Structure 1
């Protein structure tokens, strides 16, 4: 169980959502044979009910060692896992119509009014904080679900490093300019049921997603500039040697398979190594509520990385 691990919440900024949880599996191991697993939650960039703690069921699947009986899944506390620690981060959210706040009376450190690239700047700041504190460099797998998958691939594309509205004052945002650039990219990035092409997804769902997409990214004309599938640069140049993993459930009712397949095709076109997993099961949020498919795929990813390491 995730509750069996030492768990610490760190702050990386002044806002109440600028926090990251760390579950210590074997942080003290300095042999550089183990990886961190770092998670970015979804929730359409705005749902305050979905936070960093929602990664706990997936961690439990790792520790149970029963994610479809993977040959390297370990047992008990997970001592055989090639994992040093698990981390899950929160980031400032956009407004949600069902959970309104009055900007005149809500303190800045509690107000949910973020818009791209502020969510992504927080992801970068959280990763920079973890890398400075624990010195694991690029020995991590970055996992993102839904909106979190979008953020993970936006990070790989560098979409917040050259254009940002974040101020450098920690009194207003808690994010310093250094945090926006000093991030080593992961050895592998795993997008689960992600949103990668806002225009395409909204069109296939009859315009029904415009509300939360406008809340997160502004007018429709701004969406393509933030869409990982429409990134103007080369992923091969940004992510040389990295492993891109994409997973989707055939039962997903909120995001359709073309999002994942289209992103895989884009990455392959750029010459990036892609692992495409299309046999996950369950509804959209079952990815983190159940966790079996995510744990199984991350273990497979770790096997590939360890083979590269010669382990």
Structure 2
């Protein structure tokens, strides 16, 4: 399908640079239909996982899910879809693509990851003018990053709260966390016999557990940082072999303690039980698409 400007739709824009920090500061964008003035349409923005360091998981991990969504009836309600690449933490022992100390794309440390995500969202908002009309979706550590956008802060080495939204990023109306990491201290403790968990968290955030606690989504004060937030969806599979259901329980408890899920507060909380292993939900695409479509249905009822 084309429009008066001569573009064919869906329109795909690959590896769009949103900053010049590194080769990984890019976006993949899909515009399903010619732009309209329909205010009910929303954007879907995806943040991939990979423990902040896996070079084999990137923005392309959203492609199968995106194709499923575009083929569904929900595509009419979507103004655009985007998948974010961001700088990764060092991974010099990766068997196929070890990081190089001189590569700025592969030597990130918090807050580099979240600052990249914020810069990407700002680029999209300034280019496509959708303000808060978007669902921010994150898988695994991407879910951590999605909630950090709503938390509006990062914690530096002096343990002082620094507002990270100085870029004037408008937070989303809804966040969907999929197989998410929500309490980093509890995650590492649960996997105390598996050194790789402590390693990848330390690699991204340093070794001080006070910082891990501070950056964890369970520590967010969302009534203050995200007063216009309307919906949180936590989607997780009990078959996930890497991230335990306890992470969902901890996040749900933290949100309910702040009034999420209480109808009178207008802040909805929904749990969706998925099927499949940790990466299977995006590798096959169907379960991630199901979670996004369910979240979009809920958003449209709030509109």
- TM-score, normalised with respect to structure 2: 0.85
Task: Give the match for residue 90 of structure 1.
Answer: 85
Task: Give the match for residue 183 of structure 1.
Answer: 169
Change (3 A) 1:107 1:304: closer
Work out the CA distance in 1 between the residues paired with 2:188 and 2:176: 23
* DSSP-derived class of the 1:223 partner: helix
Matched, 1:26 2:33: yes
Work out the CA distance in 1 between the residues paired with 2:148 and 2:224: 14
Task: Give the match for residue 58 of structure 1.
Answer: 65
Task: Give the match for residue 217 of structure 2.
Answer: 228
- Measured after TM superposition, the shift of residue 163 of structure 1 is 5.1
Aligned residues, how many?
Answer: 277
Post-superposition Cα deviations, 1:242-299, rounded to whole Å, max 9, x if no partner, equal 2111110111000010101210110111113343334200000012112222222222
Residue of 216, 234, 239 corresponding to 1:246: 234
* DSSP-derived class of the 2:153 partner: coil
Change (3 A) 1:152 1:19: same
Matched, 1:140 2:127: no
Task: Give the match for residue 264 of structure 2.
Answer: none
- Measured after TM superposition, the shift of residue 150 of structure 1 is 0.3
CA contact under 8 A between 2:152 and 2:164: conserved in structure 1?
Answer: no
Question: What are the ranges of 5 or more consecutive residues in structure 1 without an aligned counterpart?
Answer: 66-72, 166-176
- Which fold has the larger relative contact order, with Cα–Cα distance below 8 Å and residues 6 or more apart in sequence? 1
Post-superposition Cα deviations, 1:178-233, rounded to whole Å, max 9, x if no partner, equal 975310011100000110111101111124211111101110433112111123xx
1:3-42 equivalence runs, <5 A: 5-9=10-14, 10-14=16-20, 15-26=22-33, 28-42=35-49
- Measured after TM superposition, the shift of residue 95 of structure 1 is 0.8
Question: What are the ranges of 5 or more consecutive residues in structure 2 without an aligned counterpart?
Answer: 1-8, 261-266
Task: Give the match for residue 100 of structure 1.
Answer: 98
* DSSP-derived class of the 2:63 partner: helix
Residue of 218, 221, 225 corresponding to 2:206: 218
Matched, 1:267 2:255: yes
Task: Give the match for residue 173 of structure 1.
Answer: none
Work out the CA distance in 1 between the residues paired with 2:228 and 2:249: 21
Work out the CA distance in 2 between the residues paired with 1:164 and 1:180: 19
Change (3 A) 1:100 1:44: same
- TM-score, normalised with respect to structure 1: 0.83
